[in-house]
């Protein structure tokens, strides 16, 4: 059912999505869908949670197998995974990790985003000697939100993601965090 929802989101968008369409695409009775999801919002939230889990897993796997010489390489790797999921994971383009209706009620997504930010934060603190502070947390939050907005723009301009705008998103994150990194040095 989640796969059917993802495919339909890419094809028709959230507004045209319906539980009837999802059930038909999944090849299940509408009653079966309602056993798990009371409405399209609930199944969309479940899909977002699944995508968040996949994102965290992919980033985590990459951090386990790759060595990053600089914090900027690590940050670029996170953004690269996000971009790749936009290109390859059905439904990811329509349901972003930081831009879903009532995101704060979606604990698994908030937790997943916190895991990614937490890993980056730990990397900054442990491997790059950045001082722990509220300012660092705020800079990371602003960088993540800004990057998400600019990456959405990249995919609105080009279905595969406008490379120049993706590069701008990476630069925005660098600029946001660089000020904080220099302040703590």
Give which of 145, 45, 156 is closest to 95, Cα–Cα.
45
Tens digit of each residue's pLDDT (9 = 90 or more) over 2-55: 999 999 998 998 889 999 999 999 999 999 999 999 999 999 989 988 888 888
* Helical spans, DSSP H, in 134-162: 134-157
Neighbours of 34 (CB within 10 A): 13
pTM across the whole model: 0.79
The secondary structure of 21-73 as a DSSP string is: HHHHHHT--HHHHHHH-SSHHHHHHHHHHHHHHHHHHHHHHHHHH---SSHHH
C-alpha–C-alpha distance, residues 103 and 82, integer Å:
18
Task: Check: CB of residue 148 under 8 Å from CB of residue 97.
Answer: yes
Task: Check: CB of residue 106 under 8 Å from CB of residue 48.
Answer: yes
Between 1.10.357.10, 3.90.1150.10, 3.20.20.100, 3.40.50.150, what CATH number should domain 44-184 receive?
A: 1.10.357.10
Q: How far apart are the first and last CA of the chain?
A: 50
Tokens 């699944």 — which residue? 50
Tokens 């999802």 — which residue? 22
Tens digit of each residue's pLDDT (9 = 90 or more) over 105-152: 445 545 555 666 676 777 777 766 777 888 888 888 888 888 888 998
């Amino acid at each position: 059912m989640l796969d059917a929802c993802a495919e339909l989101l890419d094809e028709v968008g959230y507004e045209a999505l319906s539980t009837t369409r999802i059930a038909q695409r999944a090849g299940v009775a509408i009653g079966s869908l309602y056993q798990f999801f009371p409405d399209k919002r609930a199944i969309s939230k479940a899909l977002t949670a699944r995508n968040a889990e996949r994102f965290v897993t992919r980033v985590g796997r990459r951090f386990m197998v790759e060595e990053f010489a600089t914090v900027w390489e690590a940050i670029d790797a996170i953004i690269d995974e996000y971009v790749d999921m936009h290109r390859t994971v059905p439904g990811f383009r329509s349901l972003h990790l930081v831009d879903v209706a009532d995101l704060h009620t979606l604990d698994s997504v908030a937790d997943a985003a916190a895991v990614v930010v937490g890993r980056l934060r730990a990397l900054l603190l442990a491997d790059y000697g950045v001082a722990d502070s509220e300012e660092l947390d705020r800079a990371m939050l602003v960088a993540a939100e800004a990057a998400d907005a600019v990456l959405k723009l990249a995919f609105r301009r080009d279905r595969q993601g406008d490379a120049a705008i993706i590069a701008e998103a990476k630069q925005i994150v660098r600029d946001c965090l660089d000020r904080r990194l220099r302040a703590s040095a």
